[in-house]
Amino acid sequence: MTAQLEQAAREPDDVGAVLTAHDGDASAAITALIEEIRRLHRELALAEFAGSRGFARGWRPAYER
């Protein structure tokens, strides 16, 4: 089992909360989560552009796992 699946298995309330927020519609929940990931990627790209390399002490974000 991957670390992501292990994390999801340990936090079933989070999964249930997302499904409840979308009236049990798994497709709508997944779509919303994908949209949120895309939004966070855009924000990370903006933060990377706005912050100097010295400010982050050389750290660069990784967009893919």
Q: Does 38 reside within a domain?
A: yes
Q: Does 58 reside within a domain?
A: no
pLDDT at 1: 46
Q: Does 25 reside within a domain?
A: yes
Considering its fold, how many domains does the chain have in total? Answer: 1
The model's pLDDT over 17-54, given as tens digits with 9 standing for 90+, comes to: 888 999 999 999 999 999 999 998 888 888 777 766 66
Q: Does 65 reside within a domain?
A: no
Q: Three-class SS string for the chain?
A: CCHHHHHHHHCHHHHHHHHHHCCCCHHHHHHHHHHHHHHHHHHHHHHHHHCCCCCCCCCCCCCCC
pLDDT at 65: 65
CB 61 within 8 A of CB 42: no
Q: Tell me how many degrees the CA angle 19-39-29 measures, rounded to the nearest 5.
A: 15
Q: Does 19 reside within a domain?
A: yes
Query: Whole domain around residue 38: which residue ranges?
Result: 3-50
pLDDT at 31: 95
pLDDT at 10: 65
Is a pLDDT exceeding 80 seen at residue 16? yes
